[in-house]
Structure 1
Amino acid sequence: MADDPGRSTLPLPDYDHLPLGALESRVRSLSAEEVEELLAYERTHADRVPVTEVLTARLEQLRSGAQPTPGDPTALRPEQAAGQAGSQVTPATSPQPFGAPPHGTPDQRGKPKGDRT
């Protein structure tokens, strides 16, 4: 499917790899014709019910007078942004590790077995 001629002309780049939530927000910037194109592509390829429902709902909104919202359908998704990789936690900012108490609550620690009387 990598050489599928329809895939390279889709209005959303990497359409096949978008999670449903990203697809939902990104189709808002498309025209009715572009949503129709995606819907036709989806029905002839994966035909995923949640995806066709999102596309059909957006198409109905556009046909009822909704306008595409500003935005760039080619913009990077947040998880693809440069410099955003990895955890922001460092050894200097991480909390000190502790073991859970054997019973009680964290502010009332249990006594070690050796100290019991």
Structure 2
Amino acid sequence: MSAPRRDELPLADYDHLPVPALRDRIRSLTTEELEQLLAYEQEHADRLPVVMAMHTRLEELKQGATPTSGRHDIRPEQPGGTRHGSAISGEETKGASPPPHGVPAQPGRPKGDRWS
């Protein structure tokens, strides 16, 4: 089977999808669509994890699995809201004691002077 052109692929934006998204999305493809995508992948990027995932899915389809609708609205390739960083703003830290080792504007005190 010859590889289809990019605009003939069964998945929109195929070239921009990361491997985790592809693994989910190929579950919605028929055997024929997956074979088209595999031919395209092998002719272009030929990424081993993608090719292996496609071969695995083809085997599942040959053993009787059916395409699922999948959740194409979930896009792990796009960052969502993150929970990284501190939830404390600068306003909430006013009045806090400096660390015992000090900060550039306010050096810490030696241990011997701490309790005096």
Q: TM-score normalised by the shorter chain: which range applies?
A: 0.5 to 0.7
2:27 matched residue in structure 1: 28
Q: Structure 2-normalised TM-score?
A: 0.66
Distance 1:88 1:38, change over 3 A: same
Distance 1:56 1:79, change over 3 A: closer
CA-to-partner distance for each residue in 1:10-50, whole Å, 9 max, x for gaps?
Answer: 00011111100000001111111111000000111111111
Q: Tell me the secondary structure at the aligned position of residue 116 of structure 1.
A: helix
1:39 matched residue in structure 2: 38
Aligned: 1:94 with 2:97: no
Inter-partner Cα distance in structure 2 for 1:100 and 1:77: 42
| Mapping of residues 70-85 of structure 1, within 5 Å | 70-71=69-70, 75=73, 77=75
Deviation at 1:67, TM superposition (A): 0.6
Q: How many residue pairs are counted as aligned between the two chains?
A: 98
Inter-partner Cα distance in structure 2 for 1:32 and 1:101: 65
CA-to-partner distance for each residue in 1:79-109, whole Å, 9 max, x for gaps?
Answer: 66xxx966689xxx9314577664xxxxxxx
The match for 1:116 among 105, 112, 115 is 112
Q: Structure 1-normalised TM-score?
A: 0.65
Inter-partner Cα distance in structure 1 for 2:24 and 2:99: 42
Structure 1 residue runs without a partner (length 5+): 103-111
Q: Check whether the contact 2:18–2:77 (CA below 8 A) recurs between aligned residues.
A: no
Inter-partner Cα distance in structure 2 for 1:11 and 1:100: 58
Deviation at 1:115, TM superposition (A): 6.4
Q: Percent identity?
A: 47
Deviation at 1:116, TM superposition (A): 3.2
Q: Tell me the secondary structure at the aligned position of residue 113 of structure 1.
A: coil
